[in-house]
Structure 1
Amino acid sequence: MDRLPSWIRQHVAALRALLVLTVVTGVVYPLVTTWVAQAVFNGKANGSLVERDGKTVGSAIIGQKFTDKDGNPLKKYFQSRPSAAGDGYDPLSSAASNLGPEDVLDVLPNPQGADAAAKEGKQSLLTQVCARSKAVGELEGVSGARPYCTADGVGAVLKVFPDRAVSVNQACPATPFVATYKGLKVECGKPGEDYAAGRTVPVRGGAGTPAVPADAVTASGSGLDPHISVAYADLQAPRVARERGLPIERVRSLIAANTTGRALGFMGDPVVNVLELNLALDRP
Protein backbone atom coordinates (compact mmCIF):
# COMPACT_ATOMS: atom_id res chain seq x y z
CA MET A 1 0.00 0.00 0.00
CA ASP A 2 2.90 2.35 0.81
CA ARG A 3 4.18 1.93 -2.74
CA LEU A 4 0.92 3.17 -4.23
CA PRO A 5 0.68 6.78 -5.39
CA SER A 6 -0.73 9.15 -2.77
CA TRP A 7 -3.85 9.93 -4.80
CA ILE A 8 -4.75 6.23 -4.93
CA ARG A 9 -4.19 5.86 -1.17
CA GLN A 10 -6.48 8.84 -0.57
CA HIS A 11 -9.21 7.31 -2.72
CA VAL A 12 -8.89 3.93 -0.95
CA ALA A 13 -9.16 5.66 2.45
CA ALA A 14 -12.23 7.57 1.29
CA LEU A 15 -13.80 4.35 0.02
CA ARG A 16 -13.17 2.64 3.36
CA ALA A 17 -14.74 5.54 5.23
CA LEU A 18 -17.74 5.45 2.90
CA LEU A 19 -18.26 1.71 3.48
CA VAL A 20 -17.89 2.00 7.26
CA LEU A 21 -20.27 4.96 7.54
CA THR A 22 -22.77 3.25 5.22
CA VAL A 23 -22.83 0.17 7.45
CA VAL A 24 -23.01 2.19 10.69
CA THR A 25 -25.55 4.82 9.66
CA GLY A 26 -27.45 2.87 7.01
CA VAL A 27 -27.68 -0.56 8.66
CA VAL A 28 -26.61 -0.68 12.31
CA TYR A 29 -28.23 2.58 13.48
CA PRO A 30 -31.65 1.93 11.85
CA LEU A 31 -31.70 -1.64 13.21
CA VAL A 32 -30.82 -0.50 16.75
CA THR A 33 -33.34 2.35 16.82
CA THR A 34 -36.05 0.09 15.37
CA TRP A 35 -35.32 -2.58 17.99
CA VAL A 36 -35.42 -0.04 20.83
CA ALA A 37 -38.66 1.46 19.51
CA GLN A 38 -40.32 -1.95 19.20
CA ALA A 39 -39.11 -3.05 22.63
CA VAL A 40 -39.96 0.11 24.54
CA PHE A 41 -42.68 1.90 22.53
CA ASN A 42 -44.24 -0.94 20.56
CA GLY A 43 -47.71 0.54 20.09
CA LYS A 44 -46.56 4.07 19.26
CA ALA A 45 -43.73 2.85 17.03
CA ASN A 46 -46.27 1.00 14.91
CA GLY A 47 -48.46 4.08 14.53
CA SER A 48 -50.76 3.70 17.55
CA LEU A 49 -53.20 1.86 15.32
CA VAL A 50 -56.75 1.40 16.56
CA GLU A 51 -58.67 -1.76 15.69
CA ARG A 52 -62.35 -2.62 15.81
CA ASP A 53 -63.75 -6.06 15.04
CA GLY A 54 -60.33 -7.16 13.83
CA LYS A 55 -59.96 -4.29 11.36
CA THR A 56 -57.71 -1.25 11.59
CA VAL A 57 -59.94 1.83 11.63
CA GLY A 58 -57.37 4.56 12.19
CA SER A 59 -54.64 5.86 14.45
CA ALA A 60 -54.95 7.37 17.90
CA ILE A 61 -52.28 9.93 17.03
CA ILE A 62 -53.27 10.90 13.45
CA GLY A 63 -56.52 12.63 12.59
CA GLN A 64 -58.89 11.51 9.87
CA LYS A 65 -62.05 12.56 8.09
CA PHE A 66 -65.55 11.41 9.03
CA THR A 67 -67.28 12.22 5.77
CA ASP A 68 -69.21 10.48 3.00
CA LYS A 69 -67.85 9.78 -0.49
CA ASP A 70 -68.72 13.34 -1.54
CA GLY A 71 -66.87 14.89 1.37
CA ASN A 72 -69.98 15.83 3.34
CA PRO A 73 -69.78 15.42 7.13
CA LEU A 74 -71.40 12.27 8.51
CA LYS A 75 -73.79 13.86 10.98
CA LYS A 76 -73.78 11.00 13.47
CA TYR A 77 -70.03 11.43 14.04
CA PHE A 78 -67.94 14.11 15.66
CA GLN A 79 -65.90 15.99 13.08
CA SER A 80 -62.13 16.49 13.26
CA ARG A 81 -60.36 19.82 12.94
CA PRO A 82 -59.29 20.84 9.41
CA SER A 83 -56.02 19.59 7.94
CA ALA A 84 -53.57 21.19 5.50
CA ALA A 85 -51.47 18.01 5.14
CA GLY A 86 -51.89 16.94 1.52
CA ASP A 87 -55.50 16.06 0.86
CA GLY A 88 -55.97 15.89 4.62
CA TYR A 89 -54.14 14.08 7.45
CA ASP A 90 -51.48 12.71 5.07
CA PRO A 91 -48.43 11.67 7.18
CA LEU A 92 -46.21 11.97 4.09
CA SER A 93 -47.25 15.61 3.65
CA SER A 94 -47.32 16.69 7.27
CA ALA A 95 -47.33 20.49 7.25
CA ALA A 96 -49.31 23.62 7.90
CA SER A 97 -50.58 25.85 5.12
CA ASN A 98 -47.71 28.30 5.79
CA LEU A 99 -50.21 31.13 5.44
CA GLY A 100 -50.23 33.90 8.03
CA PRO A 101 -52.65 36.53 9.36
CA GLU A 102 -51.79 38.91 6.52
CA ASP A 103 -53.00 36.45 3.89
CA VAL A 104 -56.40 38.08 3.36
CA LEU A 105 -56.71 38.61 -0.40
CA ASP A 106 -58.25 35.95 -2.64
CA VAL A 107 -57.35 35.34 -6.26
CA LEU A 108 -60.83 35.22 -7.80
CA PRO A 109 -61.56 32.40 -10.27
CA ASN A 110 -61.20 33.75 -13.80
CA PRO A 111 -62.84 31.67 -16.56
CA GLN A 112 -60.75 33.62 -19.07
CA GLY A 113 -57.50 32.90 -17.23
CA ALA A 114 -54.39 31.82 -19.10
CA ASP A 115 -53.86 28.62 -17.09
CA ALA A 116 -55.65 26.22 -14.73
CA ALA A 117 -54.42 28.07 -11.62
CA ALA A 118 -55.90 31.35 -12.83
CA LYS A 119 -59.18 29.68 -13.78
CA GLU A 120 -59.52 28.01 -10.37
CA GLY A 121 -58.37 31.01 -8.33
CA LYS A 122 -57.04 30.76 -4.78
CA GLN A 123 -58.61 31.33 -1.41
CA SER A 124 -56.73 33.32 1.19
CA LEU A 125 -56.31 31.97 4.71
CA LEU A 126 -58.94 34.46 5.88
CA THR A 127 -61.51 33.22 3.36
CA GLN A 128 -60.74 29.60 4.23
CA VAL A 129 -61.44 30.37 7.88
CA CYS A 130 -64.63 32.28 7.01
CA ALA A 131 -65.91 29.51 4.74
CA ARG A 132 -65.24 26.84 7.34
CA SER A 133 -66.93 28.89 10.06
CA LYS A 134 -70.02 29.36 7.90
CA ALA A 135 -70.15 25.63 7.09
CA VAL A 136 -69.71 24.56 10.73
CA GLY A 137 -72.36 27.05 11.84
CA GLU A 138 -74.84 25.63 9.35
CA LEU A 139 -74.03 22.05 10.36
CA GLU A 140 -74.39 22.72 14.08
CA GLY A 141 -77.31 25.14 13.89
CA VAL A 142 -75.44 28.13 15.32
CA SER A 143 -74.16 31.39 13.90
CA GLY A 144 -71.04 30.94 11.81
CA ALA A 145 -70.29 34.66 11.89
CA ARG A 146 -66.86 35.83 12.97
CA PRO A 147 -64.86 39.06 12.72
CA TYR A 148 -63.48 40.02 9.29
CA CYS A 149 -65.87 37.62 7.53
CA THR A 150 -68.79 38.41 5.24
CA ALA A 151 -72.18 36.76 5.57
CA ASP A 152 -71.46 34.66 2.48
CA GLY A 153 -68.30 33.20 4.00
CA VAL A 154 -65.35 35.10 2.51
CA GLY A 155 -62.88 37.59 3.92
CA ALA A 156 -64.38 41.05 4.48
CA VAL A 157 -61.59 42.97 2.78
CA LEU A 158 -61.67 46.16 0.73
CA LYS A 159 -59.21 47.60 -1.73
CA VAL A 160 -59.61 51.36 -1.43
CA PHE A 161 -58.78 53.83 -4.20
CA PRO A 162 -59.24 57.62 -4.27
CA ASP A 163 -62.55 57.34 -6.12
CA ARG A 164 -63.90 53.87 -5.27
CA ALA A 165 -63.66 50.84 -3.02
CA VAL A 166 -63.79 47.17 -4.03
CA SER A 167 -64.80 44.13 -1.99
CA VAL A 168 -62.03 42.10 -3.58
CA ASN A 169 -63.04 38.67 -2.21
CA GLN A 170 -66.64 38.89 -3.43
CA ALA A 171 -66.72 38.13 -7.15
CA CYS A 172 -69.29 39.91 -9.27
CA PRO A 173 -72.26 39.76 -9.44
CA ALA A 174 -72.20 39.31 -5.63
CA THR A 175 -73.57 42.12 -3.51
CA PRO A 176 -70.73 43.70 -1.46
CA PHE A 177 -70.98 43.20 2.31
CA VAL A 178 -71.08 47.00 2.76
CA ALA A 179 -72.61 49.50 0.35
CA THR A 180 -70.23 52.37 1.07
CA TYR A 181 -66.90 53.01 2.77
CA LYS A 182 -66.05 56.55 3.92
CA GLY A 183 -68.33 58.00 1.27
CA LEU A 184 -67.06 55.72 -1.51
CA LYS A 185 -69.37 53.27 -3.25
CA VAL A 186 -68.22 49.67 -2.76
CA GLU A 187 -68.10 47.45 -5.85
CA CYS A 188 -67.85 43.70 -6.19
CA GLY A 189 -64.55 42.21 -7.33
CA LYS A 190 -63.94 41.51 -11.00
CA PRO A 191 -61.88 38.40 -11.81
CA GLY A 192 -58.63 39.21 -13.56
CA GLU A 193 -58.61 42.88 -12.58
CA ASP A 194 -55.46 44.21 -10.91
CA TYR A 195 -56.17 45.82 -7.54
CA ALA A 196 -52.57 45.94 -6.33
CA ALA A 197 -52.48 49.75 -6.27
CA GLY A 198 -55.36 49.98 -3.79
CA ARG A 199 -55.00 50.20 -0.01
CA THR A 200 -55.93 46.93 1.72
CA VAL A 201 -58.56 47.45 4.43
CA PRO A 202 -59.86 44.40 6.39
CA VAL A 203 -63.23 45.23 7.97
CA ARG A 204 -63.84 43.72 11.40
CA GLY A 205 -67.61 44.06 11.41
CA GLY A 206 -69.86 43.44 14.40
CA ALA A 207 -69.75 39.65 14.72
CA GLY A 208 -68.48 39.70 18.31
CA THR A 209 -67.26 36.49 19.93
CA PRO A 210 -67.67 33.60 17.43
CA ALA A 211 -69.89 30.67 18.36
CA VAL A 212 -67.61 28.38 16.31
CA PRO A 213 -64.29 27.64 18.14
CA ALA A 214 -60.97 28.44 16.50
CA ASP A 215 -59.90 24.79 16.15
CA ALA A 216 -62.99 24.11 14.03
CA VAL A 217 -61.73 26.50 11.35
CA THR A 218 -57.92 26.32 11.55
CA ALA A 219 -55.57 23.44 10.83
CA SER A 220 -52.91 22.31 13.30
CA GLY A 221 -49.22 22.93 12.66
CA SER A 222 -48.68 19.31 11.61
CA GLY A 223 -52.01 18.88 9.87
CA LEU A 224 -52.31 15.54 11.68
CA ASP A 225 -53.87 16.53 15.02
CA PRO A 226 -56.31 13.79 16.13
CA HIS A 227 -57.81 16.01 18.84
CA ILE A 228 -60.36 18.79 19.07
CA SER A 229 -61.03 21.19 21.91
CA VAL A 230 -63.66 20.43 24.52
CA ALA A 231 -65.53 23.52 23.28
CA TYR A 232 -65.72 22.13 19.72
CA ALA A 233 -66.84 18.74 21.03
CA ASP A 234 -69.55 20.40 23.14
CA LEU A 235 -70.73 22.33 20.08
CA GLN A 236 -71.17 19.08 18.14
CA ALA A 237 -72.78 17.11 20.96
CA PRO A 238 -76.43 18.15 20.32
CA ARG A 239 -76.20 17.16 16.64
CA VAL A 240 -74.64 13.78 17.39
CA ALA A 241 -77.16 13.06 20.14
CA ARG A 242 -80.04 13.99 17.83
CA GLU A 243 -78.76 11.90 14.90
CA ARG A 244 -78.20 8.84 17.12
CA GLY A 245 -81.31 9.24 19.25
CA LEU A 246 -79.20 9.38 22.42
CA PRO A 247 -79.70 11.52 25.53
CA ILE A 248 -77.40 14.53 25.40
CA GLU A 249 -76.08 13.58 28.85
CA ARG A 250 -74.87 10.24 27.47
CA VAL A 251 -72.95 11.96 24.65
CA ARG A 252 -71.40 14.47 27.03
CA SER A 253 -70.30 11.69 29.37
CA LEU A 254 -68.50 10.02 26.45
CA ILE A 255 -66.82 13.33 25.64
CA ALA A 256 -65.57 13.52 29.21
CA ALA A 257 -64.36 9.90 29.10
CA ASN A 258 -62.29 10.60 25.99
CA THR A 259 -60.85 13.92 27.14
CA THR A 260 -57.16 14.20 27.98
CA GLY A 261 -56.14 16.83 30.54
CA ARG A 262 -53.39 19.42 30.32
CA ALA A 263 -49.89 18.09 29.65
CA LEU A 264 -48.02 17.78 32.97
CA GLY A 265 -51.07 19.31 34.58
CA PHE A 266 -50.43 22.87 33.42
CA MET A 267 -49.45 23.03 29.72
CA GLY A 268 -52.01 23.49 26.96
CA ASP A 269 -55.72 22.78 27.24
CA PRO A 270 -57.76 19.59 27.63
CA VAL A 271 -58.43 17.88 24.29
CA VAL A 272 -60.77 15.20 22.96
CA ASN A 273 -59.59 12.32 20.75
CA VAL A 274 -62.11 12.28 17.89
CA LEU A 275 -61.56 8.71 16.66
CA GLU A 276 -61.79 7.18 20.12
CA LEU A 277 -64.89 9.23 20.89
CA ASN A 278 -66.61 8.11 17.69
CA LEU A 279 -65.69 4.49 18.35
CA ALA A 280 -67.13 4.79 21.84
CA LEU A 281 -70.38 6.06 20.31
CA ASP A 282 -70.52 3.05 17.97
CA ARG A 283 -70.18 0.52 20.76
CA PRO A 284 -73.49 -1.14 21.75
Structure 2
Amino acid sequence: MSRLSVESSWLRQLLAAVRVVVVITVVVGLAYPLAMTAVAQVPGLRSRAQGSRVDGPDGRQVGSSLIGQSFSDADGQAVRAYFQPRPSNAGDGYDAAASAAGNLGPESVVDTLPGADDPDSGKQSLLTQVCALSRQVGELERVDGRRPFCTPDGVGAVLGVFRADGLTGTARRVVSLNQACPARPFVRTYEGVTVQCAQPGADYHQAVVTPIRGDAPADPKVPADAVTASGSGLDPHISPAYARLQVARVARERGISERTVLALVDTYTTGRALGFLGAPSVNVLELNIALDRTHPVQGA
Protein backbone atom coordinates (compact mmCIF):
# COMPACT_ATOMS: atom_id res chain seq x y z
CA MET A 1 0.00 0.00 0.00
CA SER A 2 1.39 3.36 -1.00
CA ARG A 3 2.09 6.17 1.45
CA LEU A 4 -0.53 8.36 -0.26
CA SER A 5 -3.19 5.67 0.21
CA VAL A 6 -2.37 5.30 3.91
CA GLU A 7 -2.61 9.05 4.48
CA SER A 8 -5.94 9.18 2.61
CA SER A 9 -7.38 6.35 4.76
CA TRP A 10 -6.21 8.07 7.97
CA LEU A 11 -7.78 11.36 6.87
CA ARG A 12 -11.14 9.67 6.16
CA GLN A 13 -11.15 8.08 9.64
CA LEU A 14 -10.30 11.41 11.24
CA LEU A 15 -13.11 13.22 9.43
CA ALA A 16 -15.56 10.45 10.37
CA ALA A 17 -14.58 10.79 14.03
CA VAL A 18 -15.01 14.57 13.89
CA ARG A 19 -18.49 14.17 12.37
CA VAL A 20 -19.49 11.73 15.12
CA VAL A 21 -18.30 14.14 17.81
CA VAL A 22 -20.18 17.04 16.23
CA VAL A 23 -23.41 15.05 15.86
CA ILE A 24 -23.27 13.73 19.45
CA THR A 25 -22.47 17.21 20.78
CA VAL A 26 -25.44 18.74 18.96
CA VAL A 27 -27.87 15.98 19.97
CA VAL A 28 -26.78 15.39 23.56
CA GLY A 29 -25.37 18.79 24.46
CA LEU A 30 -27.90 21.04 22.71
CA ALA A 31 -31.02 19.35 21.33
CA TYR A 32 -31.70 17.09 24.35
CA PRO A 33 -31.34 19.84 27.02
CA LEU A 34 -33.54 22.16 24.97
CA ALA A 35 -36.17 19.43 24.55
CA MET A 36 -36.17 18.69 28.30
CA THR A 37 -36.43 22.41 29.06
CA ALA A 38 -39.42 22.68 26.74
CA VAL A 39 -41.12 19.66 28.35
CA ALA A 40 -40.51 21.19 31.79
CA GLN A 41 -42.62 24.20 30.83
CA VAL A 42 -45.74 22.06 30.39
CA PRO A 43 -48.44 23.10 32.88
CA GLY A 44 -48.20 20.92 35.97
CA LEU A 45 -44.47 20.38 35.57
CA ARG A 46 -43.25 23.97 35.53
CA SER A 47 -43.24 24.45 39.31
CA ARG A 48 -41.33 21.21 39.84
CA ALA A 49 -38.79 22.11 37.18
CA GLN A 50 -38.18 25.43 38.91
CA GLY A 51 -37.17 23.65 42.10
CA SER A 52 -40.62 23.57 43.73
CA ARG A 53 -40.02 27.11 44.93
CA VAL A 54 -42.19 28.56 47.68
CA ASP A 55 -42.85 32.29 47.90
CA GLY A 56 -43.38 34.12 51.17
CA PRO A 57 -46.16 36.59 52.01
CA ASP A 58 -44.13 39.39 50.41
CA GLY A 59 -43.73 37.47 47.14
CA ARG A 60 -40.06 36.68 47.61
CA GLN A 61 -38.80 33.12 47.38
CA VAL A 62 -38.27 31.65 50.85
CA GLY A 63 -37.51 28.01 50.11
CA SER A 64 -38.58 24.79 48.43
CA SER A 65 -41.66 22.75 49.19
CA LEU A 66 -39.39 19.67 49.13
CA ILE A 67 -36.91 20.84 51.78
CA GLY A 68 -37.83 21.60 55.38
CA GLN A 69 -36.67 24.55 57.47
CA SER A 70 -36.12 25.16 61.15
CA PHE A 71 -38.45 27.63 62.85
CA SER A 72 -36.29 28.50 65.84
CA ASP A 73 -34.58 31.58 67.27
CA ALA A 74 -30.86 32.37 67.55
CA ASP A 75 -30.63 30.24 70.68
CA GLY A 76 -32.18 27.24 68.96
CA GLN A 77 -35.48 27.58 70.84
CA ALA A 78 -38.73 26.93 68.99
CA VAL A 79 -40.56 30.07 67.83
CA ARG A 80 -43.93 29.49 69.45
CA ALA A 81 -46.01 31.19 66.76
CA TYR A 82 -44.96 28.64 64.15
CA PHE A 83 -45.56 24.96 63.59
CA GLN A 84 -42.37 23.03 64.33
CA PRO A 85 -40.91 20.46 61.91
CA ARG A 86 -39.45 17.11 62.83
CA PRO A 87 -35.79 16.96 63.92
CA SER A 88 -33.05 16.95 61.28
CA ASN A 89 -29.59 15.37 61.18
CA ALA A 90 -28.57 17.20 58.00
CA GLY A 91 -25.75 19.51 59.09
CA ASP A 92 -27.10 22.10 61.50
CA GLY A 93 -30.57 21.15 60.35
CA TYR A 94 -32.14 20.85 56.88
CA ASP A 95 -28.82 21.56 55.13
CA ALA A 96 -29.34 20.23 51.59
CA ALA A 97 -25.56 20.05 51.13
CA ALA A 98 -25.24 17.73 54.13
CA SER A 99 -28.25 15.44 53.73
CA ALA A 100 -27.79 12.53 56.09
CA ALA A 101 -29.38 10.30 58.68
CA GLY A 102 -28.20 9.89 62.26
CA ASN A 103 -27.12 6.28 61.59
CA LEU A 104 -28.25 5.18 65.05
CA GLY A 105 -30.49 2.14 65.43
CA PRO A 106 -32.66 0.48 68.08
CA GLU A 107 -29.59 -0.96 69.82
CA SER A 108 -28.34 2.56 70.61
CA VAL A 109 -29.56 2.85 74.22
CA VAL A 110 -26.43 3.62 76.27
CA ASP A 111 -24.90 7.12 76.34
CA THR A 112 -21.21 7.94 76.31
CA LEU A 113 -21.04 10.15 79.38
CA PRO A 114 -18.89 13.31 79.18
CA GLY A 115 -15.67 13.41 81.13
CA ALA A 116 -15.22 15.75 84.07
CA ASP A 117 -12.49 17.69 82.25
CA ASP A 118 -14.30 17.75 78.89
CA PRO A 119 -18.08 18.27 79.17
CA ASP A 120 -18.46 18.17 75.38
CA SER A 121 -16.91 14.72 74.98
CA GLY A 122 -20.12 12.79 75.63
CA LYS A 123 -22.47 11.32 73.04
CA GLN A 124 -26.15 10.67 73.47
CA SER A 125 -27.69 7.40 72.40
CA LEU A 126 -30.70 7.37 70.08
CA LEU A 127 -32.90 6.46 73.04
CA THR A 128 -31.76 9.47 75.08
CA GLN A 129 -32.19 11.78 72.08
CA VAL A 130 -35.78 10.57 71.70
CA CYS A 131 -36.46 10.87 75.44
CA ALA A 132 -35.04 14.42 75.62
CA LEU A 133 -36.97 15.60 72.57
CA SER A 134 -40.21 14.06 73.80
CA ARG A 135 -39.83 15.87 77.12
CA GLN A 136 -39.13 19.18 75.34
CA VAL A 137 -42.10 18.81 73.00
CA GLY A 138 -44.33 17.89 75.93
CA GLU A 139 -43.32 21.05 77.79
CA LEU A 140 -43.78 23.19 74.67
CA GLU A 141 -47.22 21.81 73.87
CA ARG A 142 -48.34 21.43 77.53
CA VAL A 143 -48.95 17.70 77.27
CA ASP A 144 -47.49 14.61 78.91
CA GLY A 145 -44.11 14.09 77.22
CA ARG A 146 -43.33 10.77 78.89
CA ARG A 147 -42.36 7.75 76.77
CA PRO A 148 -41.66 4.12 77.62
CA PHE A 149 -38.00 3.44 78.53
CA CYS A 150 -37.37 7.10 79.39
CA THR A 151 -36.53 8.61 82.78
CA PRO A 152 -38.44 11.64 84.13
CA ASP A 153 -35.36 13.82 83.46
CA GLY A 154 -35.32 12.88 79.77
CA VAL A 155 -32.65 10.21 79.27
CA GLY A 156 -32.83 6.53 78.43
CA ALA A 157 -34.02 4.44 81.39
CA VAL A 158 -31.30 1.81 81.13
CA LEU A 159 -29.67 -0.15 83.93
CA GLY A 160 -26.35 -1.96 83.87
CA VAL A 161 -26.76 -5.10 85.98
CA PHE A 162 -23.66 -6.94 87.19
CA ARG A 163 -24.66 -10.53 87.87
CA ALA A 164 -22.92 -13.26 89.83
CA ASP A 165 -22.44 -15.54 86.80
CA GLY A 166 -21.86 -12.90 84.14
CA LEU A 167 -25.07 -12.91 82.09
CA THR A 168 -27.09 -14.83 84.67
CA GLY A 169 -27.32 -15.23 88.38
CA THR A 170 -28.05 -12.92 91.27
CA ALA A 171 -27.69 -9.19 90.75
CA ARG A 172 -24.64 -7.96 92.69
CA ARG A 173 -24.42 -4.35 91.50
CA VAL A 174 -26.75 -2.11 89.48
CA VAL A 175 -25.91 1.20 87.75
CA SER A 176 -28.20 3.67 85.95
CA LEU A 177 -25.98 3.90 82.86
CA ASN A 178 -27.33 7.18 81.42
CA GLN A 179 -27.52 9.18 84.66
CA ALA A 180 -24.13 10.62 85.54
CA CYS A 181 -23.35 11.27 89.20
CA PRO A 182 -24.50 13.10 91.24
CA ALA A 183 -27.88 12.47 89.54
CA ARG A 184 -30.44 10.47 91.50
CA PRO A 185 -31.22 7.18 89.69
CA PHE A 186 -34.74 6.92 88.31
CA VAL A 187 -35.34 3.78 90.42
CA ARG A 188 -34.05 3.21 93.94
CA THR A 189 -33.57 -0.54 93.79
CA TYR A 190 -33.54 -3.35 91.24
CA GLU A 191 -33.92 -6.97 92.33
CA GLY A 192 -33.22 -5.86 95.88
CA VAL A 193 -29.96 -4.06 94.99
CA THR A 194 -29.57 -0.29 95.43
CA VAL A 195 -29.15 1.44 92.08
CA GLN A 196 -26.10 3.68 91.69
CA CYS A 197 -25.55 6.68 89.43
CA ALA A 198 -22.95 6.30 86.67
CA GLN A 199 -19.38 7.54 87.01
CA PRO A 200 -18.12 9.18 83.78
CA GLY A 201 -15.23 7.23 82.33
CA ALA A 202 -16.01 4.08 84.34
CA ASP A 203 -16.01 0.72 82.57
CA TYR A 204 -19.44 -0.90 82.61
CA HIS A 205 -19.04 -3.21 79.59
CA GLN A 206 -19.42 -6.35 81.75
CA ALA A 207 -22.86 -5.24 82.94
CA VAL A 208 -26.02 -6.67 81.39
CA VAL A 209 -27.75 -3.75 79.65
CA THR A 210 -31.35 -3.73 80.88
CA PRO A 211 -33.85 -1.14 79.56
CA ILE A 212 -36.71 -0.39 81.98
CA ARG A 213 -40.12 0.39 80.51
CA GLY A 214 -41.41 2.43 83.42
CA ASP A 215 -44.98 3.66 83.92
CA ALA A 216 -45.26 5.90 80.83
CA PRO A 217 -48.42 5.44 78.74
CA ALA A 218 -48.18 2.82 75.99
CA ASP A 219 -49.46 5.40 73.49
CA PRO A 220 -47.38 8.58 74.07
CA LYS A 221 -49.01 11.97 73.55
CA VAL A 222 -45.98 13.11 71.53
CA PRO A 223 -45.99 11.41 68.07
CA ALA A 224 -42.94 9.51 66.85
CA ASP A 225 -42.16 11.97 64.03
CA ALA A 226 -41.80 14.77 66.60
CA VAL A 227 -38.76 13.02 68.11
CA THR A 228 -37.14 11.25 65.14
CA ALA A 229 -35.49 12.61 62.00
CA SER A 230 -36.23 11.46 58.46
CA GLY A 231 -33.67 9.41 56.53
CA SER A 232 -32.56 12.41 54.46
CA GLY A 233 -32.86 14.99 57.22
CA LEU A 234 -34.67 17.23 54.71
CA ASP A 235 -38.30 16.07 54.91
CA PRO A 236 -40.57 19.16 55.22
CA HIS A 237 -43.57 17.08 56.31
CA ILE A 238 -44.97 16.05 59.67
CA SER A 239 -47.87 13.77 60.52
CA PRO A 240 -51.37 15.23 60.93
CA ALA A 241 -51.21 14.03 64.55
CA TYR A 242 -48.12 16.15 65.27
CA ALA A 243 -49.66 19.13 63.47
CA ARG A 244 -52.84 18.90 65.53
CA LEU A 245 -50.79 18.67 68.72
CA GLN A 246 -49.38 22.12 67.92
CA VAL A 247 -52.68 23.79 67.00
CA ALA A 248 -53.50 25.12 70.49
CA ARG A 249 -50.08 26.78 70.91
CA VAL A 250 -50.05 28.38 67.45
CA ALA A 251 -53.61 29.68 67.87
CA ARG A 252 -52.78 31.10 71.29
CA GLU A 253 -49.62 32.85 70.06
CA ARG A 254 -51.36 34.37 67.02
CA GLY A 255 -54.53 35.35 68.83
CA ILE A 256 -56.86 33.34 66.59
CA SER A 257 -59.20 30.42 67.16
CA GLU A 258 -58.06 26.81 67.12
CA ARG A 259 -60.79 26.12 64.58
CA THR A 260 -59.17 28.57 62.16
CA VAL A 261 -55.77 26.94 62.57
CA LEU A 262 -57.23 23.46 62.18
CA ALA A 263 -58.83 24.52 58.88
CA LEU A 264 -55.40 25.56 57.58
CA VAL A 265 -53.87 22.28 58.76
CA ASP A 266 -56.53 20.39 56.81
CA THR A 267 -55.86 22.52 53.73
CA TYR A 268 -52.16 21.66 53.76
CA THR A 269 -52.63 17.98 54.54
CA THR A 270 -51.92 15.67 51.61
CA GLY A 271 -53.21 12.11 51.39
CA ARG A 272 -51.47 8.88 50.42
CA ALA A 273 -49.77 8.80 47.02
CA LEU A 274 -51.98 7.01 44.50
CA GLY A 275 -54.40 6.44 47.36
CA PHE A 276 -52.37 3.70 49.08
CA LEU A 277 -48.65 4.62 49.23
CA GLY A 278 -47.15 6.32 52.28
CA ALA A 279 -49.18 8.18 54.87
CA PRO A 280 -51.03 11.51 55.07
CA SER A 281 -48.70 14.41 55.86
CA VAL A 282 -48.60 18.17 56.42
CA ASN A 283 -46.06 20.44 54.74
CA VAL A 284 -44.77 22.62 57.61
CA LEU A 285 -43.13 25.28 55.43
CA GLU A 286 -46.22 25.87 53.30
CA LEU A 287 -48.47 25.83 56.38
CA ASN A 288 -46.39 28.44 58.22
CA ILE A 289 -46.26 30.69 55.15
CA ALA A 290 -50.04 30.44 54.84
CA LEU A 291 -50.34 31.45 58.51
CA ASP A 292 -48.13 34.50 57.97
CA ARG A 293 -50.12 35.44 54.89
CA THR A 294 -53.58 35.16 56.46
CA HIS A 295 -52.95 35.65 60.20
CA PRO A 296 -49.58 37.35 60.74
CA VAL A 297 -48.03 37.40 64.19
CA GLN A 298 -49.32 40.40 66.13
CA GLY A 299 -46.65 43.06 66.56
CA ALA A 300 -44.29 41.40 64.05
> How much has 1:85 moved relative to structure 2?
1.2
For residue 34 of structure 1, report the CA deviation from its aligned partner.
6.2
Q: 1:207 aligns to what? A: 216
Matched, 1:90 2:95: yes
Identical pairs, percent: 58
Distance 1:111 1:31 in 2: 59
Q: Which residue of 2 aligns with 1:145?
A: 146
How far 1:212 sits from its partner (Å)? Answer: 0.2
The offset of 1:90, in angstroms, is 1.2
RMSD: 2.7
The residue that corresponds to 2:9 in the other structure is none
Give the TM-score normalised by structure 1: 0.86
Deviates more, 1:153-162 or 1:130-139: 153-162
TM-score in terms of structure 2 length: 0.81
SS for the counterpart of 1:164 is strand
Structure 2 CA distance for partners of 1:161 and 1:48, relative to 1, 3 Å: same
Give the aligned residue type for 1:132: L
Letter matched to residue 227 of structure 1: H
Partner of 1:63: 68
Structure 1 residues 168 and 55: alpha-carbon distance in aligned structure 2, compared to 1, 3 A threshold: same
2: CA distance, partners of 1:229 / 1:108? 33
How much has 1:44 moved relative to structure 2? 2.0
CA distance in 2, matches of 1:67, 1:187: 37
Residues 241, 251 of structure 1: 8 Å contact kept: yes
Aligned to 1:194: 203
Residue 111 of structure 1 and its aligned partner are, at CA, apart by 2.7
For these two proteins, the number of residue pairs brought into alignment is 268
Partner-residue secondary structure (3-state), 1:95 = coil
Structure 2 residue aligned with 1:10: none
Aligned residue runs from structure 1 range 10-29, under 5 A: none
Instruction: Measure, in 1, the Cα distance between the counterparts of 2:31 and 2:174.
Output: 62
Residue in structure 2 matched with residue 49 of structure 1 by the alignment: 53
CA distance in 2, matches of 1:206, 1:161: 24
What is the alpha-carbon distance in structure 2 between the residues aligned to residue 51 and residue 126 of structure 1? 37
Change in Cα spacing, 1:186 to 1:34, as seen in structure 2 (3 Å) is farther
Instruction: Give me the whole-angstrom Cα distance separating, in 1, the residues matched to 2:78 and 2:240.
Output: 19
Q: 1:156-235 counterparts in 2 under 5 A? A: 156-162=157-163, 163-208=172-217, 209-235=219-245
Q: Which residue of 1 aligns with 2:125?
A: 124
Q: 1:164 to 1:27 in 2, by over 3 A?
A: farther
- 8 Å contact from structure 1 (residues 147, 206) kept in 2: yes
Corresponding residue number in structure 1 for 2:270: 260
Show CA shifts across 1:55-93 (max 9, x none): 221211111100111111000100001111111111122
CA drift of 1:267 comes to: 2.0
Deviation per residue, 1:243-273 (Å, 9 max, x gap): 1110110010010011101111122221111
Q: Distance in 1 between matches of 2:32 and 2:182?
A: 59
- d(CA) in 2 for partners of 1:205, 1:29: 65
Q: Tell me the distance in 1 between the aligned counterparts of 2:83 and 2:38.
A: 36
Could you say which residue in structure 1 is the equivalent of 2:37? Answer: 35
Distance in 1, Cα, partners of 2:263 & 2:249: 15
